Amino acid sequence: MNRKNGIRLKDVLILVLLIFLSLLTENTHNTIKLFGWLNIILFAYYTVSIKGKHSFLSIYFIFLFFSVFFHFGQIFTNSLGLGSLISESIISANVLQDRSLNTVVHSIKFCTLSIFLFNMGAQYIFNTRYKDEEVDETILLEREKSGLKVSRITGLIVLIISSYFIYKFDSAYIIQGMTNGYIGIRQLDVNYGITDDMARLFKVGMILLIIGYKDKKSIFVILVLSNISYSLLKVAVTGLRGYEIIYLVILVYIYYKVYKNLSLAKLSLLLTSGIVLLTLSSLTVLYRESTRSFNLSNVWDFLINRNPIISSINEFGSTLITTQLFIDFVPQTIDYGYGKSYVYSLVTLLPNINGFLNDIVQSAYPNVILARHFPGIGGSFIGELYYNFGDFGVFVSAFIGGAIALLSLAAEKALKRKEFFKFGLYAIAFNTILWTVRDSLSTIPRNLMFALLVPVVIKVFIDASKKSHVRR
């Protein structure tokens, strides 16, 4: 495939139009509805733009999908005439009412431009880096066999290393959740840091193990279904959804990428499962924000008296509040970061012995800085852009989109070349990066280092052992 021009003229024209709309429209409720419909149209445009270049169920498109709906969920509900349901939902923030009208409109315009430029940066990568490759089938068969074996062995070793730590965390959360609910879980005194890093390795090992059994479909399916069941159980019992829902998305992504044979029946089952998951998510919010027990009576009452799907969209769509708070606090109360959160995040890779690096580490996470003024707030990579660069942060978003597109293309290339261990590493990276839709990009370096370093080191030892065996 010949390389094309990276930046498309129609993208430039749309960008100019969006900038003019942002500058010329007033801060009114009609503007909010206008930009709500505009972003619905833009999402359709993003979807059409990727057709023929990249898979819809890809790292890039999944990240884009979550970015749009997590930031604009409530805005979409409002534009569709369902705004009254927002206040009826159990949500952490009402992004239409909690801040001033000026701030609400400003945040919507900022996020609109950020996501458009995010997609524009990605399209540049797709247009300039994508190319078909001819691959020798004989080499592919040998590479697949070797890669799957390495993935199985590495995954099993990582699972053994992390099993004690995940047991320690999960047993504490589940017991507390069953006895005292989500309120009790908030009071848990659990040791984070290296212990938490080791516990997170359990999912790393499981991802590699699942991929390693690609050639044994029955075991592969059993592993996937058992992991989905356990994650749903943890969500239901503990009320903690974030990491588990992301993990479920990764599992579906892996299944599709490994087999690519989603029939109409399987697609229908996947859609039904998604609706059930949304319902469960809404029930989890109801459960964790109260002291009520998680029983059939409360579940039935929720399903009859509320719309669980709309409630889920409204609850997930509250991430825009982080950007709104940064707009209100920066630079009036909090100084611009000027990119230091990205630079300081590299310091988190170093061991923080006796808290020597505490001040720098705390400055690496903008949501931690914001929490000093507004406790309990989550993060957002778009909010982080505003913290660092103000309104000019929208242009930096293009580089982030390009980086996600590169990761997505690398995963597709690894699959085509049957490099399944490498694909496993990309899936693990995706499991870490997808969380930044509701967190800071500055959390990536440390989390990614622990997630990738251990399996890579194990593979190095496996390869060295093979070479030593051959010499003998």
Q: What DSSP assignment string belongs to 357-372?
A: THHHHHHT-HHHHHHT
Cβ neighbours around 18 below 10 Å, total: 19
Whether the pLDDT of residue 420 is over 80: the answer is yes
Q: Would you state the pLDDT for residue 401?
A: 96
Q: Where are the domains of the chain?
A: 137-307
Rg of the chain taking only CA atoms, in angstroms: 23
Q: Which two tokens stand for residue 384?
A: 């982080």
CB 38 within 8 A of CB 112: yes
Q: Please choose, from the candidates 105, 78, 73, the residue with its C-alpha nearest in 3D space to the C-alpha of residue 92.
A: 73
Torsion of CA 124, 126, 129, 132, to 10 degrees: -160
Q: How far apart are CA 18 and CA 29, in angstroms?
A: 18
Scanning the structure block, which residue is given the tokens 């400003």? 106
Q: Would you state the pLDDT for residue 271?
A: 61
CB 66 within 8 A of CB 253: no
Burial of residue 441, with CB atoms counted within 10 A of its CB: 0-12 exposed, 13-18 middle, 19 or more buried: buried
Whether the pLDDT of residue 218 is over 80: the answer is yes
Average pLDDT of span 407-426: 93
Q: How far apart are CA 83 and CA 94, in angstroms?
A: 10
Q: Would you state the pLDDT for residue 3?
A: 47
Q: Would you state the pLDDT for residue 30?
A: 94
Write out pLDDT tens, residues 120-168.
Answer: 999 999 888 766 666 667 778 888 888 899 999 999 999 999 999 998 8
Amino acid at position 268, single letter: S
Q: Would you state the pLDDT for residue 291?
A: 47
Average pLDDT of span 284-288: 55
Alpha-carbon distances of 44 from 31, 39, 75, 110, 318, rounded to whole Å? 20, 9, 16, 19, 21
DSSP secondary structure of 260-275: ----HHHHHHHHHHHH
Phi, psi (deg, nearest 5) at residue 449:
-60, -50
Identify which has the larger pLDDT, 184 or 394. Answer: 394
Identify which has the larger pLDDT, 111 or 265. Answer: 111
pTM: 0.89
Q: What are the counts of helices (DSSP H) followed by strands (DSSP E) for the chain?
A: 20, 0
Average pLDDT of span 216-225: 90
Whether the pLDDT of residue 9 is over 50: the answer is yes
Q: How far apart are CA 285 and CA 377, in angstroms?
A: 16
Write out pLDDT tens, residues 31-88.
Answer: 999 999 999 999 999 988 877 666 778 999 999 999 999 999 889 988 888 766 666 5
